[in-house]
């Protein structure tokens, strides 16, 4: 019930392509779904977040798609660049202080 399942574990995309990372959850009480980006040797940093009252949120090249009925949400990175190479984490919380994190996706953008 508390898990957030993230896939794939790793992803290689050509420069200019679309990177897609998926997450699924079970707990319907979750009401906040952020995505974090982490570079080696650094702490995670918030990339974009969505609440379940909207189906899509876009910030620049980054878009979250949210499917409430399927209990899934995904991150799309358009026109992927080598600088986007990082580990991406989805997470979810239910109005408290505890973020439940996915296992992470290591994204490599090939020039």
Shortest distance, position 17 Cβ to other proteins, whole Å: 25
Nearer to other proteins, 95 or 111 (CB): 95
Q: How many residues bind other proteins (CB under 8 A)?
A: 27
Judged by CB under 8 A, does residue 95 bind other proteins?
yes
Nearer to other proteins, 40 or 111 (CB): 40
Q: Of 52-71, which residues contact other proteins (CB under 8 A)?
A: none
Judged by CB under 8 A, does residue 103 bind other proteins?
yes
Binding track, positions 27-56, relative to other proteins; x by CB under 8 A: ----xx-x-x----xxxxxx--x-x-----
Intra-chain end-to-end CA distance of the chain, in Å: 40
Q: How many CB atoms lie within 10 A of CB 7?
A: 15
What Cα–Cα distance (Å) separates residue 62 from each residue in 12, 38, 99?
17, 15, 21
């Amino acid at each position: 019930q508390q898990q957030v399942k993230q896939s794939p574990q790793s992803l290689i995309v050509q420069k200019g392509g679309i990177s897609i990372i998926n997450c699924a959850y079970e707990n319907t009480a979750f009401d906040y779904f952020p995505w974090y980006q982490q570079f080696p040797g650094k702490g995670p940093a918030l990339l974009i977040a969505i609440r379940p009252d909207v189906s899509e949120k876009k910030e620049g090249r980054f878009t979250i798609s949210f499917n409430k009925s399927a209990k899934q949400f995904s991150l799309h990175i358009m026109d992927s660049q080598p600088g986007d190479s990082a580990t991406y984490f989805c997470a979810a919380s239910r109005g408290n202080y505890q973020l439940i994190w996915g296992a992470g996706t290591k994204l490599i953008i090939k020039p």
